C-alpha cells in the first residue's frame, strides 16, 4: 500500500511525501507524486501514530475489571482518536484484583485482538503516598516490595513495562533498582518526595514522573518539590495530562517550554467514563466518580479531580492552540518521546523506513480522518 500527502511529518517538519507499507512496516518513503498511490490525502497532515502510556480504560471498561472483551473493545475503538498503541493502566486495589487485572491484559495480548497495539501494562500503585493518593483507595496502598512485584509480574507474563511509585516510600531504592535492572521504567508519582529525594531517585534509576503537577509536591522558590524536579531534571521524562483542566494552558506552556522538545509525554489518564455522557457516574478504585461538563472526572465525595476523558488528538489541539506550545514539542509528546521512554523507538514514534506503519491523518481541526495500525486502515 502507498499513501501520500503534501504534509508528512518527517525530520521535525512537514514535507511532501509518499509512504509505502508492507507487512505492517514502512518499507519506502518517496517524494510526493512519484508513485502510483492507493490514497492521496492532499494537504491533510500525516503524523506518527499516537501513544498513550497512562490510560485506565474507556467505553465503560477499566483495566482493573479484568474483562477480556472490554479490553479488546477498548483497543479496537481507541483508534478513533489516533492512538495506535497504549499501556493498559491499573489503579491501586487488593492483591487479588490487581493479579487478575494484569493476568487479563496478558491473556488478551497473547490471545489476539484488533486495533491499537497493547504495549503492556502501566502499574500505577499500590506503592504510593497516602497524602498524595488522589483517587487511589487508601486501604490498599502498600509499601514497595520487590517480592510482591515479582508476583504481579509473573501473573502479567512479564508485560509490566512501567511502574508509578512514591520514591520516598521505597527504602534504599530497592524496588527502583530492581525494576531498572529489569528494563522497567520507574516513574515518580502520587508522591510526597522533596526535590532532593527526586534527584536521588533519578540517581538510582527513576526515569519518569507521573502526571506532573498532579499527585505530587508543588513548586516553591525555596522548597522546589517534585514539580521543581520535573522542571530542573531535563533528562527525566514527565507525563502530563493535556486536557486544560488538570493543568491550565499557562501551566502546560510553562512545563513544555522548561522541559524542551524531547522529554515531555502527553497522557490522557482516561477512565472508563471516556466515551460516555456528561453526568455519568462510575466506580473507580472503589470510589464513585462523576463526569463534569468539561469532560473531567471528579470524586462525588470530595469534588476532587479523579482523572480525565481526554482524547489524545484533542490534547494535541489544546497544547498547540490554547497552550501555545510549539507543534513539534506537542507532537513529540504523544509519539517519539513515549516511544523512547519505553525503549521502543526502534519501531515506534516516527515515520521512518523500518518502523511500524502506525500513522494518523489529521483534519485541519485535529479531528482524525484515518488511523493506520501497522499499515491497516482502521476507520
Return the active site residues. 269
Cell of 93: 486495589
Report DSSP state, residue 319: I
Cell of 170: 521505597
Contact indicator for 192, 134 with CB cutoff of 8 Å: no
> Cα(131)–Cα(112) distance, rounded to whole angstroms?
40
**Neighbour-count burial of 197, counting CB atoms closer than 10 A to its CB (0-12 exposed, 13-18 middle, 19+ buried):** buried
Q: Which of 275, 145, 221, 337 is nearest to 123 (CA)?
A: 145
Beta pairing partners, 57: 62
327 half-sphere exposure, CB direction, 13 A CA radius: 7
Strand, coil or helix: what is 124?
A: strand
Q: Which of 236, 176, 225, 175 is nearest to 197 (CA)?
A: 225
Cβ-Cβ contacts under 8 Å for 69 (sequence gap 6 or more): none
Residues composing the chain? 379
Cell of 304: 476532587
Report cis status (omega within 30 of 0) of the bond before 151. no
Cα-Cα-Cα-Cα dihedral sign, residues 220, 221, 226, 232: positive
> Cα(124)–Cα(136) distance, rounded to whole angstroms?
9
Strand, coil or helix: what is 264?
A: strand
Amino acid at each position: 500500500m502507498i499513501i501520500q500527502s503534501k504534509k508528512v511529518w518527517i525530520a521535525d517538519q512537514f514535507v511532501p511525501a509518499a509512504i509505502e507499507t508492507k507487512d505492517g512496516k514502512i518499507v519506502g518513503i518517496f517524494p510526493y507524486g512519484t508513485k502510483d498511490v492507493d490514497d492521496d490525502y492532499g494537504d491533510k497532515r500525516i503524523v506518527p501514530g499516537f501513544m498513550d502510556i497512562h490510560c485506565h480504560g474507556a467505553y465503560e471498561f477499566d483495566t482493573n475489571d479484568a474483562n477480556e472483551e472490554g479490553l479488546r473493545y477498548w483497543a479496537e475503538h481507541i483508534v478513533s482518536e489516533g492512538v495506535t498503541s497504549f499501556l493498559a493502566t491499573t489503579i491501586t486495589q487488593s492483591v487479588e484484583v490487581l493479579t487478575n487485572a494484569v493476568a487479563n491484559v496478558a491473556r488478551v495480548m497473547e490471545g489476539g485482538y484488533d486495533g491499537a497495539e497493547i504495549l503492556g501494562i502501566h502499574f500505577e500503585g499500590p506503592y504510593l503516598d497516602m497524602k498524595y493518593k488522589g483517587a487511589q483507595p487508601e486501604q490498599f496502598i502498600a509499601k514497595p516490595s520487590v517480592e510482591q512485584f515479582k508476583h504481579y509480574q509473573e501473573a502479567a507474563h512479564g508485560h509490566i513495562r512501567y511502574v508509578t511509585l512514591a520514591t520516598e516510600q521505597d527504602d534504599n531504592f530497592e524496588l527502583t533498582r530492581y525494576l531498572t535492572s529489569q528494563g522497567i521504567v520507574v516513574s515518580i508519582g502520587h508522591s510526597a518526595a522533596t526535590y532532593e529525594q527526586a534527584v536521588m531517585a533519578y540517581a538510582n534509576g527513576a526515569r519518569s514522573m507521573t502526571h506532573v503537577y498532579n499527585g505530587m509536591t508543588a513548586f516553591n522558590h525555596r522548597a522546589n518539590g517534585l514539580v521543581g524536579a520535573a522542571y530542573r531534571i531535563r533528562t527525566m521524562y514527565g507525563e502530563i495530562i493535556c486536557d486544560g483542566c488538570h493543568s491550565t494552558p499557562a501551566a502546560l506552556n510553562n512545563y513544555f517550554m522548561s522541559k524542551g522538545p524531547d522529554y515531555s509525554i502527553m497522557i490522557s489518564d482516561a477512565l472508563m467514563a471516556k466515551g460516555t455522557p456528561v453526568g455519568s457516574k462510575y466506580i473507580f478504585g472503589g470510589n464513585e466518580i462523576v463526569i463534569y461538563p468539561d469532560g473531567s472526572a471528579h470524586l462525588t465525595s470530595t469534588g476532587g479531580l479523579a482523572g480525565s476523558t481526554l482524547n489524545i488528538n484533542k490534547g494535541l489541539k489544546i497544547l498547540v492552540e490554547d497552550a501555545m506550545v510549539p507543534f513539534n514539542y506537542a507532537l513529540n509528546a504523544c509519539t517519539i518521546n513515549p516511544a523512547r521512554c519505553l525503549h521502543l523507538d526502534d519501531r515506534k514514534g516516527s515515520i521512518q523506513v523500518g518502523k511500524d506503519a502506525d500513522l494518523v491523518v489529521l483534519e485541519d481541526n485535529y479531528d482524525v480522518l484515518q488511523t493506520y495500525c501497522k499499515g491497516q486502515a482502521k476507520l
